[in-house]
């Protein structure tokens, strides 16, 4: 009796299956070499098998080996079951993200480590790992974790010795009583330019009208000239405001003190036992200047270098410049006049508040370990 061969239909189905298996192997090798193809979702049957083995007491590693799938996939399936009670694919919210979680975390770490890194640099970094995305996509990813692009503040350069002296000053004065700060006469110099106030201004305008005269702020080279001012204040109000003629040197500084310091202290009713504050400018710390203070029996507050944020008069300088430039002085004579008028208008309440909250500045320096503060 002769043996019959397999049916033709069975041979065709076997050949088709072999072609499919060969195609799968080729695609697996091709996409593995290019490492761009996204991973395929496992069937619901595979996910249920993972769940059954997990309920049977098997660990992630044994389940991974038994089903020949990665351990992270096993962990993800079980985590989803614990959270939602099912392994079925749930409805998704919108389009899947272009950035993978790993790349997104890498961008966040880079931005936190290097705050000055640009979006272009991060875009090139993502392209190197095979994820080409727009700059806006990177920006949105950073926004979601609370990182926003902002203009960097300009602060004095603080070296370690500066931080140490600032921290020492703050710690030694943070417990000082409020009455002591009321006895301090704060002083400083500042330069005010005629057209040089750099505050941002906004204008409501139509497209293509940015350069129309009504939508621009006129500027003059070198600020159109400037004046140097010396001033002082206490919690009782503002003291004298003096224009400095020419370049300030030690002799000129002592002349200003001779004519204005004691008179300001008298006007502000600070009494004889007040403390004078000045920064560590060389003309302030000159031997002749320090001898002048000693001769006049004036106690000078020991001051840490590079610390304008510890001097509340800086806030008054900002108030003064804002008020003066709102009046739009047309020449240096008007500029000086407006400065003296606006200085006299600064309220006692404003001065008292700056002195009253001074311990907060010291606390901020301590919190920053001697570093820069918001003041």
Token pair 């990182």 is found at 147
Tokens read off for 91 = 């409805």
- How far apart, in whole angstroms, are the C-alpha atoms of residue 265 and residue 18? 101
Pairing of the two strands 275-276 and 237-244: unpaired
User: What pLDDT shows up at residue 30?
Assistant: 44
User: What pLDDT shows up at residue 18?
Assistant: 54
Tokens read off for 247 = 């370049």
Q: What is the pTM of this model?
A: 0.67
- How far apart, in whole angstroms, are the C-alpha atoms of residue 309 and residue 365? 9
> How far from chain centre, in Å, is Cα 328?
32
User: What pLDDT shows up at residue 277?
Assistant: 96
User: What pLDDT shows up at residue 200?
Assistant: 60
Instruction: Say how many Å lie between the first and final Cα of the chain, rounded.
Output: 105
- How far apart, in whole angstroms, are the C-alpha atoms of residue 132 and residue 135? 10
User: What pLDDT shows up at residue 22?
Assistant: 58
Q: Which residues of the chain have pLDDT under 50?
A: 1-8, 29-38
Digit-coded pLDDT (tens) for 241-256: 999 998 889 999 999 9
Residue 239 carries which DSSP code? E
User: What pLDDT shows up at residue 26?
Assistant: 53
User: What pLDDT shows up at residue 8?
Assistant: 46
Phi, psi angles (nearest 5°) of residue 114 = -125, 85
């Amino acid at each position: 009796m002769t043996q019959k061969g397999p049916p033709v239909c069975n041979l065709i189905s076997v050949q088709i299956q072999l072609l499919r298996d060969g195609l799968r192997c080729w695609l697996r090798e091709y996409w593995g070499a290019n490492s761009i193809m996204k991973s395929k979702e496992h069937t619901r049957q595979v996910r249920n098998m993972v769940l059954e083995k997990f309920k049977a007491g098997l660990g992630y590693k044994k389940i991974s080996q038994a089903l020949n799938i990665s351990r992270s996939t096993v962990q993800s399936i079980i985590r989803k079951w614990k959270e939602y009670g099912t392994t079925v694919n749930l409805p998704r919210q919108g389009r899947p993200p272009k950035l993978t979680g790993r790349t997104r975390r890498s961008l966040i770490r880079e931005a936190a480590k290097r705050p000055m890194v640009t979006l272009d640099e991060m875009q090139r970094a993502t392209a190197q790992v095979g994820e080409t995305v727009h700059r806006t996509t990177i920006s949105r990813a950073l926004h979601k974790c609370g990182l926003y692009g902002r203009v960097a503040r300009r602060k004095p350069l603080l070296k370690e010795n500066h931080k140490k002296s600032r921290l020492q000053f703050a710690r030694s004065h943070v417990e000082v009583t409020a009455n002591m700060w009321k006895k301090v006469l704060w002083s400083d110099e500042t330069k005010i330019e005629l057209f040089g106030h750099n505050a941002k201004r906004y204008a409501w305008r139509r497209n293509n009208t940015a350069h129309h005269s009504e939508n621009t702020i006129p500027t003059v080279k070198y600020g159109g000239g400037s004046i140097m001012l010396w001033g002082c204040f206490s919690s009782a109000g503002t003291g004298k405001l003096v224009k400095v003629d020419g370049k300030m040197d030690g002799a000129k500084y002592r002349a200003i003190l001779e004519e204005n310091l004691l008179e300001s202290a008298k006007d502000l009713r600070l009494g004889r036992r007040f403390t004078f504050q000045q920064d560590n400018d060389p003309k302030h710390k000159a031997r002749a200047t320090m001898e002048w203070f000693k001769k006049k029996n004036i106690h000078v507050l020991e001051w840490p270098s590079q610390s304008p944020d510890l001097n509340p008069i800086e806030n008054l300088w900002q108030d003064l410049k804002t008020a003066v430039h709102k009046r739009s002085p047309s020449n240096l004579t008007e500029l000086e006049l407006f400065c003296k008028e606006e200085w006299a208008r600064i309220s006692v309440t404003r001065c008292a508040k700056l002195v009253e909250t001074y311990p907060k500045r010291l606390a901020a320096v301590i919190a920053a370990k001697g570093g820069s503060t918001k003041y």
